Amino acid sequence: MPMTRIYTDDDADPRALEGPVAIIGYGSQGRAHARNLRDSGYEVIVGARPEGRAAEGAARDGFETVSPPGAARRARFVALLTPDMTHREVYAAIEPELSPGDALMVAHGFSVHYGQIRPRADLDVVLVAPKGPGDLVRREYEIGRGVPSLFAVHQDQSGTARQKALAYCRANGGTAGGTIETSFAEETETDLFGEQAVLCGGASELVTAGYETLVEAGYQPEIAYFECMHELKLIVDLMYEGGLSRMHDFISETAKYGDLVSGPRVINAETRQRMREVLADIQSGAFARDWVLENQAGKPKYDALLRRDLEQPIEKTGARLRERMAWLQPGANAGQA
Inside any domain, residue 336: no
Q: What is the pLDDT of residue 182?
A: 97
Mean pLDDT, residues 153-167 = 97
Choosing from 182, 207, 239, the residue where a domain stops is 182
Inside any domain, residue 228: yes
Mean pLDDT, residues 6-10 = 96
Inside any domain, residue 52: yes
Contact indicator for 20, 45 with CB cutoff of 8 Å:
yes
Inside any domain, residue 302: yes
Residue 180 pLDDT exceeds 90: yes
**Residues of the chain above pLDDT 70, percent:** 98
For residues 280 and 237, membership in a common domain is answered with yes
Residue 140: which of 150, 129, 131 has the closest Cα? 131
Contact indicator for 126, 102 with CB cutoff of 8 Å:
no
CATH number at residue 51: 3.40.50.720
Residue 334 pLDDT exceeds 80: no
Q: What is the pLDDT of residue 132?
A: 94
For residues 213 and 100, membership in a common domain is answered with no
Q: State phi, psi for 125 to the nearest 5 degrees.
A: -130, 120
d(CA 119, CA 109): 12
For residues 140 and 221, membership in a common domain is answered with no
Residue 77: its H or E element: strand 77-80
Residue 208: which of 286, 315, 296, 84 has the closest Cα? 315
d(CA 317, CA 325): 13
Residue 28: which of 103, 139, 194 has the closest Cα? 139
Inside any domain, residue 156: yes
108 is annotated as an active-site residue: yes
For residues 219 and 171, membership in a common domain is answered with no
Q: What is the pLDDT of residue 1?
A: 72
Residue list for the binding site: 26-29, 49, 134, 191, 195, 227, 231, 252
For residues 221 and 125, membership in a common domain is answered with no
Mean pLDDT, residues 222-242 = 96
Exposure on the CB side of residue 170, measured as CA atoms within 13 A = 19
Interval 20-70: pLDDT, tens: 999 999 999 999 999 999 999 999 999 999 888 999 999 999 999 999 999
Mean pLDDT, residues 210-220 = 98
Residue 335 pLDDT exceeds 60: no
Inside any domain, residue 187: no
Inside any domain, residue 188: no
Q: Is the pTM of this model over 0.75?
A: yes
DSSP character string of 149-215: EEEEEEE-SSS-HHHHHHHHHHHTTHHHH-EEE--HHHHHHHHHHIIIIIITHHHHHHHHHHHHHHH
For residues 226 and 258, membership in a common domain is answered with yes
Catalytic residue among 108, 113, 230, 248: 108
Give Cα separations from 125 to 16, 44, 51, 102, 187 (angstroms): 15, 19, 29, 9, 14
Choosing from 182, 204, 235, the residue where a domain stops is 182
Q: What is the pLDDT of residue 25?
A: 95
Question: DSSP letter at 297?
Answer: T
Mean pLDDT, residues 114-140 = 97
Inside any domain, residue 204: yes
Question: DSSP letter at 229?
Answer: I
For residues 173 and 217, membership in a common domain is answered with no
Residue list for the binding site for substrate: 252
Crossing angle for the helix pair 269-284 and 286-296, to the nearest 10 degrees: 60
Total domains present in the chain: 2
For residues 230 and 262, membership in a common domain is answered with yes
Residue list for the binding site for Mg(2+): 191, 195, 227, 231
Residue 92 pLDDT exceeds 60: yes
Interval 261-300: pLDDT, tens: 999 999 999 999 999 999 999 999 999 999 999 999 999 9
Residue 209 sits in which domain range? Answer: 196-328
For residues 127 and 36, membership in a common domain is answered with yes
d(CA 186, CA 307): 32
Q: What is the pLDDT of residue 337?
A: 41
For residues 228 and 204, membership in a common domain is answered with yes
Where does the pLDDT of residue 333 fall: very low under 50, low under 70, confident under 90, or very high at 90 and above? Answer: low
Residue 47: its H or E element: strand 44-47
